Amino acid sequence: MISRARKPLLATATSAALALTAGLAVTGAQASPERHEKREGAGWSAAWAASPQRPSTGFRPNWSEAGFDGQTLRQVVRVTEGGKHARIRLSNAYGTSPLKIASATIARTKKGASVEKGSVRRLTFGGKPSVTIPARGQLSSDAADLELAAFESVTVTLHLSGTTGPATFHAQSFATSYRAKGNHTADTGGRAFGDSTESWYYLSGVDVGDGRPQKRRDGIVLFGDSITDGFASSTDLNRRWSDALAERLAKSGDQRPVLNSGIGGNMVLNDSAWYGEKSSHRFERDALDLPGVGTVVVLEGLNDIGFSETDKPTYKPAPVVSATELIDGHRKLIRAARADGMKVVGATLLPLGGSDHYGPHAAAVSNEFNRWVRTSGEYDAYVDFDKALADPKDPERIAPAYDSGDHLHPNDAGYRAMARAVDLGVL
C-alpha cells in the first residue's frame, strides 16, 4: 500500500460526539461536510451509498422528471457496516430549486414497504424535523439512535409535502422503492404505498457510527459503470458484485464496508445526460468524499469504447476513443486518489465479444488498455476481471455461465465470480 501525506484540513476540528454532528446544507461551491469529517475522524463510516444523477427517463419508467407533490417516498437499502447510530445523506445535486423535506424517518426493514414495529426513528436536521436543501446542495441528517448490523436492510422514508420539480435520483437501483399520497413516514405497514419503481431518489448515503472518533479508513468504494451498478442482477436480492465482495470479506473474517458508486452507462472521458458526469467530474463526490473510505477500485471504460460501436441511440454521436485517451483518463483518477491518501486499485475490462459494444476498434482498445492495467504498475494493484470471466473456448466473450444474456453484463453468478477474483490482500 502506498502511503502518502494527507492534504491540509479545510476546517477546524469538529466534535467527535455524534449528537453534535448536525445536518448541514451545502452548495456546490462549498466543500462537503463529509470530506471534513472523513479527514477529522468525526465518528462516521459510510455503510451504503448511491451516486446521484440528473433527472431523465432514459431508463425503465421512473419518477425523476415528474418529481413529487404531497407524497411520501419509501426506499430500502442494505448497509454493509453496523453501528449504534445512523444518519442519512441527501442530495439535491441536480435540482434547479430548493427541496423541502417536511419529515423523515429511518427504520429496520421488515418486508417490501413495511418496517419493523418499534424501530421507526424520526430524523432531524440541525435539531429540526424538517429541512430545505438548496438547489445543487446536499446535507446529512443528525444522528438517529438506531443500532444496525452489517447486512441489515434499512428503510428511509421522506415526506415531500410540496412540489419538488424534477428529482435528483439514481436511475438503476435493482431494488424497489415505494410512493404514497400524503404523509406516511410513521407507518409501519406498507398498505399505503401503492406505487413502486426501481430507482432511488435524493438518498445518496447511509452512515453509521458508535459515538467515538473514527480513526479507521477501511471502507472500500467500487467506482464504475453499469457492471459496478449491478445491471441484470436480481432485483431486491442484493446480488451486485459490491454485495458479493462485502459478503466474501465478512466470511474471511475481515468484515468491512463496501460502497457502490457505479452509474449505468457512465464514461471516463465524457459527460452524458442519461449516464452521469464523466469519472473525473464525479470522482471526488462519489468516491473520495465518502466517510471512512481508504480504498477505491476503478472499473470503467467499456462505454467509452463501446458506444461508438453500438447502433443504440443512447449516446450519439459517440466519439471514437483511443487507448491512450482512456489511459490518460484513468491516470487522472489515480492522481486524485493518491492526493487524497487513498489506495487505488485498477481493474481490467470484462470481455465484450458478441455484445452491442463489440467491434474491431473496441476489441483492440480493450486489449491495449487491459495490458496497461496489468503491466504498467501505475495502479497500486489490479484485479483481472477479463481473465476471471472469459470463456476458455473464446476469451473475447464472457463465459456462458456468467453471461446475463447480452454478452456484456454478468449475471448473479458472474458478479460472484468478480468478487472471487479479488485478492483480498490488495484491499
Residue 314's pLDDT is: 85
Claim to verify: residue 222 and residue 187 sit in the same structural domain: no
Claim to verify: residue 246 and residue 353 sit in the same structural domain: yes
Which of 161, 190, 207 marks a domain boundary? 207
Strand, coil or helix: 20: helix
356 located within any domain: yes
7: pLDDT confidence band, cut at 50, 70 and 90? very low
Q: Average the pLDDT over 348-372 and give the result.
A: 98
pLDDT tens track for 52-79: 999 998 767 899 999 999 999 999 999 9
136 located within any domain: yes
3 located within any domain: no
Report the alpha-carbon distance of residue 125 to residue 128 in Å, rounded: 5
Residue 42's pLDDT is: 67
**How far, in Å, are 30, 130, 171 from residue 215 at the CA level?**
24, 31, 33
Claim to verify: residue 223 and residue 115 sit in the same structural domain: no
Among the listed ranges 127-141, 165-179, 283-297, 303-317, which one has the minimum average pLDDT value? 303-317
Q: Where do we find the cell 472500500?
A: 220
The structural domain count of the chain equals: 2
Among the listed ranges 160-174, 259-273, 305-319, which one has the minimum average pLDDT value? 305-319
- In the numeric block, which cell numbers belong to residue 175? 431494488
Claim to verify: residue 92 and residue 200 sit in the same structural domain: yes
241 located within any domain: yes
Claim to verify: residue 201 and residue 220 sit in the same structural domain: no
How would you classify the pairing of strands 293-299 and 343-347?
A: parallel
35 located within any domain: no
Strand, coil or helix: 141: coil
Claim to verify: residue 116 and residue 222 sit in the same structural domain: no
Residue 418's pLDDT is: 98
Residue 5's pLDDT is: 29
Claim to verify: residue 274 and residue 135 sit in the same structural domain: no
214: pLDDT confidence band, cut at 50, 70 and 90? low
How would you classify the pairing of strands 69-78 and 45-49?
A: unpaired
Calculate the dihedral angle through the C-alpha atoms of 303, 307, 313, 314, rounding to the nearest 10 degrees: 10
Q: Say yes or no to pLDDT of 159 above 90.
A: yes
Residue 312's pLDDT is: 84
How high is the mean pLDDT of the chain?
Answer: 91
Q: Say yes or no to pLDDT of 400 above 90.
A: yes
Q: Say yes or no to pLDDT of 4 above 70.
A: no
Q: Say yes or no to pLDDT of 17 above 50.
A: no
Q: Average the pLDDT over 125-144 and give the result.
A: 98
Calculate the dihedral angle through the C-alpha atoms of 24, 109, 411, 290, rounding to the nearest 10 degrees: 20
165 located within any domain: yes
Q: Say yes or no to pLDDT of 269 above 70.
A: yes
Which of 207, 226, 248 marks a domain boundary? 207
Q: Say yes or no to pLDDT of 3 above 50.
A: no
Q: Say yes or no to pLDDT of 351 above 70.
A: yes
How would you classify the pairing of strands 343-347 and 381-383?
A: parallel
Residue 22's pLDDT is: 42
Using the CB atoms, write b or e for 412-421: b if 16+ within 10 Å.
bbbbbbbbeb
Residue 61's pLDDT is: 85
Q: Among 189, 191, 200, 119, which Cα is nearest to 152's?
A: 119
Which of 161, 182, 207 marks a domain boundary? 207
0.85 exceeded by pTM: yes
Claim to verify: residue 195 and residue 248 sit in the same structural domain: no
Report the alpha-carbon distance of residue 154 to residue 162 in Å, rounded: 25
We report the CATH number of the domain holding residue 226 as 3.40.50.1110
10 located within any domain: no
Give the rounded percent of residues in the chain with a pLDDT score beyond 90: 85
Claim to verify: residue 92 and residue 157 sit in the same structural domain: yes
pLDDT tens track for 18-46: 332 344 534 343 334 445 444 444 689 99
Domain enclosing residue 292, as ranges: 216-426
Residue 62's pLDDT is: 95
Give the rounded percent of residues in the chain with a pLDDT score beyond 70: 89
Claim to verify: residue 222 and residue 260 sit in the same structural domain: yes
Residue 215's pLDDT is: 59
38 located within any domain: no
Claim to verify: residue 249 and residue 334 sit in the same structural domain: yes
pLDDT tens track for 105-124: 999 999 999 999 999 999 99
